Amino acid sequence: MASMGLDFKPPKLDDLAGWELAAKLWEVGLTFHSCGCSGPGYRPRERRAYREFLEHTLAGYLGTLRQHMDAKPTTPKRIEDQHRAVATWQERIARIKTALAEEAR
């Protein structure tokens, strides 16, 4: 059992491939948590779509990392926050890159 978020639309019970992809999303830290008002989040339903989803997610993560790295914090607290944010996004990027490498095999 995993908390995938209110916006997660699960596969049908007998959709083993769909559940495998949902597990892979969980493993790389991709869940569907929000306020619950935007409806079910997009979930890839086949291998090719999963790879494309990871590539799209990676591009977004790289952009977010760039924003944090380009920030010019002026207080010690904000500098600490920036370092924490950069480390978080680097870790997320590493997980996505690992998943993409596994899919390439």
Q: Check if the beta carbon of residue 27 is closer than 8 Å to that of residue 92.
A: no
Q: Check if the beta carbon of residue 54 is closer than 8 Å to that of residue 28.
A: yes
Three-state secondary structure call for residue 66:
helix
Question: Residue 68, Cβ neighbours under 10 Å: how many?
Answer: 18
10 DSSP assignment = P
pLDDT greater than 70 at residue 94: yes
Instruction: Let me know the angle formed at the C-alpha of 27 by 53 and 58, rounded to the nearest 5 degrees.
Output: 35
Structure confidence by residue, pLDDT tens digits, 15-67: 998 899 989 988 888 887 776 565 556 778 888 899 999 999 999 999 999 99
pLDDT of residue 41: 67
